[in-house]
Structure 1
Amino acid sequence: MLNDTHIDIHPEVSHALRRGGAVVALESTIITHGMPYPANNDMAAKVEAIVAEEGAVPATIAVMGGRLKIGLSDGERAALATTPGAMKLSRADLPFAISEGRTGGTTVAATMIAAHLAGIRVFATGGIGGVHKGAELSFDVSADLDELARTPVIVVSAGAKAILDIPKTLEVLETRGVPVVGYGADVMPAFWSRHSDFPAPLRLDSAEAIARFQRTREELGFPGGMLIANPVPEMDEIPAARMRGYIDAAQNAADENGVSGKAVTPFLLQKILELSDGASLKTNIALVENNARLAAKIAKALAA
């Protein structure tokens, strides 16, 4: 367990970790950058409740006032949800925010780092970052991919965000040696949609099988984490053909406005939200909830 120089572990999370119980890490950029208050706080509270209902302890991770928080109280979560100008933190700027006493939401990469520091082995998110379209010119590749290759945390997501270049993202993950597992699926999900045009490299059909696979990797000394691609429930998906139209229109708008770097993803997601009349956000919430349920089951299987 860590010392408390820079980190605060919520008592319930600390107790679960000490006794070897099931804990699921949750990111916080969905709170700080995902949607306005109070919807952001309400959604985060519901995801935490889902993890708890499945028999695991939720640990929402964030930096608040320069302290790395592993698990938030209800009051801390509400305060984070109303913090103006919160940073969006990845590997490069996580220590900066701590050293400068700042507040920020953690991306996939930063949440993985913090989870591993605390001894949490499973993390539920919406979708990972990856290789952006046009990356051969912009070199815009998410730090999430390198983090998956180096940090031994199971990441449960609905695949890479569909605004990304999915085949290039899969190629980078393969090169980095990251296992990509379709949960009950032979093809990769495409975030808002259950199916993409690309096969899932591996398939497993139960939380127990995923836990067994990770234990085997650890016993053999394989580094890094794994990505579980969990399709959004059928009743909540937006068909891929319809999403393709929204994504193309949003990408064209980003190009016309010269959007680049960290601003690309939030710009595209906001534009898609407008084009879909809010349907993309409803699906986003549903897939995060679905991922939280599976992550809790995996965490319980690992703890068994």
Structure 2
Amino acid sequence: MIDIQYSAEVRAAKNDGTPIVALESTIITHGMPYPQNIEVAAQVEQDIRDAGAVPATIAVIDGRLRVGLEPDQLKDLGQAQGVAKISRADMAACIASGGTGATTVAATMIAAHFAGIEVFATGGIGGVHRGAETSFDISADLHELAQTPVTVVAAGAKAILDLAKTLEVLETLGVPVIAHGQDEFPAFWSAKSPFATPLRMDTAEQIAKAHATRRALGLPGGQLVANPIPLADQIPSEELDPIIASAQQDAEAHRITGKAVTPYLLQRIYERTEGRSLIANIALVRNNARLAAGIAKALKAQAG
């Protein structure tokens, strides 16, 4: 039996029925340097509190599944070395071996559902990588959305991916893709892309009702809420697309493959935007956290 270790704040929220929003931990361990990683994680948690919900940052620490981190645990994780980046395939092994791992989108969804949390805020989901027709590089996040009943709020998929193929796979898997407040699928750092989403909803209440209706129908899986980055914080796609293309060419020239591709591309984009990509990343995560809190509150209200 898996023993979940709840933070005091999350335990109290579960006891008194306060809405809870799950957060991943890879942004802390693999997303940005210390101490900025801790500062951003703490700010995102506070955004959720300010919006009327309780944050539950999820990680595996010394073989224990932690749902909600105390401030000292958050700080320790932000400085830890050699932290694994865990997904569905290696989450159980990390727990069983007493390891420490930061949760990706897929692993966070698994842990959130296991802990009875229905809403999760992240930056962007993984998806189909460019060139997947030869590499078969497709994120486990997509299949997790098809089988684990958690509403995931993200600024679309990471713009370094093949967005068209990502949307096709989500459609094939039967995952609802809901654009919040617009008809276009957002492209992470950019508010819009050339691709339309199948569904649009303009309020947290509508999204919460869709989540509850899927549950009532017995449909498996969750739903993806594509929440565009605020226009004031975005990097327009016409500016960003050539930078991404150049970074892709660099990766191919240096024969960067597999799991090394994404961090390499993100670093190159950070350099070529003179840090603006990181500033935009922080803005979109905070924006997603606020919407997720609204959805979690609406779910509680609708449940009576």
Q: TM-score, normalised by structure 1?
A: 0.97
User: Do structure 1's residue 165 and structure 2's residue 162 form an aligned pair?
Assistant: yes
User: Do structure 1's residue 62 and structure 2's residue 59 form an aligned pair?
Assistant: yes
In structure 2, the partner of 1:39 is 36
Contact 1:207 1:298 (8 Å CA) reproduced: yes
Deviation per CA, 1:251-281: give whole Å up to 9, x if none: 1111112222221111111111011110000
User: Do structure 1's residue 119 and structure 2's residue 107 form an aligned pair?
Assistant: no
In structure 2, the partner of 1:279 is 276
In structure 1, the partner of 2:92 is 95
User: Do structure 1's residue 210 and structure 2's residue 207 form an aligned pair?
Assistant: yes
In structure 1, the partner of 2:224 is 227
Residue 85 of structure 1 deviates from its aligned partner by 1.2
In structure 2, the partner of 1:238 is 235
Contact 1:154 1:228 (8 Å CA) reproduced: yes
In structure 2, the partner of 1:146 is 143
**Higher mean C-alpha deviation, range 72-81 or range 97-106:** 97-106
Q: Secondary structure at the match of 2:31?
A: coil
Q: Which amino acid aligns with 1:52?
A: R
Q: Secondary structure at the match of 1:126?
A: coil
Distance across 1 between alignment mates of 2:273 and 2:188: 15
Q: Secondary structure at the match of 1:92?
A: helix
Residue 11 of structure 1 deviates from its aligned partner by 2.4
Distance across 2 between alignment mates of 1:223 and 1:202: 18
In structure 1, the partner of 2:127 is 130
Deviation per CA, 1:166-206: give whole Å up to 9, x if none: 01000000000000000001001100001100001100000
Distance across 2 between alignment mates of 1:262 and 1:8: 30
Residue 114 of structure 1 deviates from its aligned partner by 0.3
User: Do structure 1's residue 269 and structure 2's residue 266 form an aligned pair?
Assistant: yes
Distance across 2 between alignment mates of 1:259 and 1:76: 33
In structure 1, the partner of 2:177 is 180
Distance across 2 between alignment mates of 1:159 and 1:21: 27
Which consecutive unaligned segments of at least 5 residues does structure 1 have?
none
Distance across 2 between alignment mates of 1:89 and 1:263: 15
Distance across 2 between alignment mates of 1:96 and 1:263: 22
Q: Secondary structure at the match of 2:88?
A: coil
Which consecutive unaligned segments of at least 5 residues does structure 2 have?
none
Contact 1:6 1:98 (8 Å CA) reproduced: no
Distance across 2 between alignment mates of 1:17 and 1:248: 46
Distance across 2 between alignment mates of 1:39 and 1:19: 33
In structure 1, the partner of 2:69 is 72
Contact 1:17 1:120 (8 Å CA) reproduced: no
Contact 1:27 1:105 (8 Å CA) reproduced: yes
Which of 10, 13, 17 is matched with 1:20 structurally? 17
Distance across 1 between alignment mates of 2:131 and 2:84: 26
Distance across 2 between alignment mates of 1:17 and 1:225: 21
Q: Which amino acid aligns with 1:135?
A: A
Distance across 2 between alignment mates of 1:264 and 1:56: 35
Deviation per CA, 1:114-148: give whole Å up to 9, x if none: 00000000000000000000000000000000000
Distance across 2 between alignment mates of 1:106 and 1:260: 22
Q: Which amino acid aligns with 1:60?
A: T
**Identity of paired residues, percent?**
60
**Higher mean C-alpha deviation, range 247-256 or range 136-145:** 247-256
Q: Which amino acid aligns with 2:8?
A: P
Distance across 2 between alignment mates of 1:60 and 1:148: 19
Distance across 2 between alignment mates of 1:226 and 1:18: 26
Q: Secondary structure at the match of 1:24?
A: strand
For this pair of structures, how many residues does the alignment match? 301
Report runs of 4+ in structure 1 exceeding 4 Å deviation.
Answer: none
Distance across 1 between alignment mates of 2:258 and 2:7: 33
Residue 84 of structure 1 deviates from its aligned partner by 0.8
Q: Which amino acid aligns with 2:211?
A: Q
Q: Secondary structure at the match of 1:93?
A: helix
Distance across 1 between alignment mates of 2:260 and 2:88: 17
Distance across 2 between alignment mates of 1:40 and 1:105: 13
In structure 2, the partner of 1:257 is 254
Distance across 2 between alignment mates of 1:263 and 1:120: 31
Distance across 1 between alignment mates of 2:211 and 2:48: 20
Q: Secondary structure at the match of 1:33?
A: helix
